[in-house]
Amino acid sequence: SYDLTQSPSVSVSPGHTASITCSGDKLGDRYVFWYQQKPGQSPVLVIYQDSMRPSGIPERFSGSNSANTATLTISGTQPMDEADYYCQTWDSNINTAIFGGGTKLTVL
Amino acid sequence: QVQLQESGPGLVKPSETLSLTCSVSGDSISRSYWSWIRQPPGKGLEYIGHIYYSGSTNYNPSLQSRVTISVDTSKNQFSLKLSSVTAADTAVYYCARPAVGSGWLLFDFWGHGTLVTVSS
């Protein structure tokens, strides 16, 4: 089965840029979606189709996907961005969503 | 704005069947796909499966032998049944409305989630 790998944790200082990566075999050939989840809340879509932002998501969130790695970048990170972030892709062989293990972003 | 609300028992005994319902408002269930996703406490997200309003389903192979997702268009609801549960099935269960792309789904609307604990 297809696997997505994320680093368990990333730390960033307020105002700086955070990069959260998601890796998988030939991931660049697939679309990647990113979700933000704060404690006790449901996930929220922040990036779709590698680099598109849904309405209402701040411009500081951006995404890219190439080769074996997708990256979620948060520019000018704010304390409110502290959350768990999950990448997701689609495995068309089994018609199922695949989620990465999640990355805990700490802003300090 | 579509809203989804999960409901069902919060405690299920081992070996029994977990049953949850997702009530949909602000959208017609007879429109597209509908999904279930779960998250064990302190862990990541796991896709359970989805159903098309016509009744066709697709399940995560890791759960396929125990999962049934069904839809009730008259009530604008869809449901999840997971049989032979163990403590490993303890999780927050989310229902979600996917957005449909060319051969993929993403999840833009989620319910609040409901915690189901498997314990005797």
Q: What percent of chain A has pLDDT over 70?
A: 100
* Torsion angle in degrees (nearest 10) through CA of B26, B28, B34, B40: 30
Summarised one tens digit per residue, pLDDT across range B14-30 is 999 999 999 999 999 99
Q: Degrees (nearest 5) of the Cα angle A66, B106, B53?
A: 150
Is B111's CB within 8 Å of A43's CB? no
Are the CB atoms for B67 and B115 separated by under 8 Å? no
Average pLDDT for residues B62-86, to the nearest whole number?
Answer: 97
Interface contact flag, B44 A94, Cβ < 8 Å: no
- Is residue A60 within 8 Å of residue A20, measured between CB atoms? no
Residue A91 has pLDDT above 90, yes or no: yes
Give the position of tokens 């701040």. Answer: A58
Nearest to B45 by CA among A15, A89, A78, A26: A89
H helix intervals, chain A: none
Across A2-29, average pLDDT: 97
Side chain identity at residue A80, one-letter code: M
The whole-chain average pLDDT of chain A stands at 97
User: B30-61 pLDDT, tens per residue?
Assistant: 988 999 999 999 999 999 999 998 899 999 99
Residue B102 has pLDDT above 90, yes or no: no
| Residue among B1, B51, B92, B104 with most chain A CBs within 10 A, to mutate | B104
Q: Are B6 and B94 in contact (CB under 8 A)?
A: yes
Closest by CA position to A98, among listed B45, B59, B92: B45
Q: Cα(B36)–Cα(B22) distance, rounded to whole angstroms?
A: 9
- Region A30-46 average pLDDT: 97
Please report, as a single letter, which amino acid is at residue B22: C
| CB-based contact B107 A35, cutoff 8 Å | yes
Nearest to B44 among A1, A44, A102 (CB): A102
Beta-strand runs (E) in A13-82 = 18-23, 33-37, 44-47, 61-66, 69-74
Average pLDDT on A20-24 reads 98
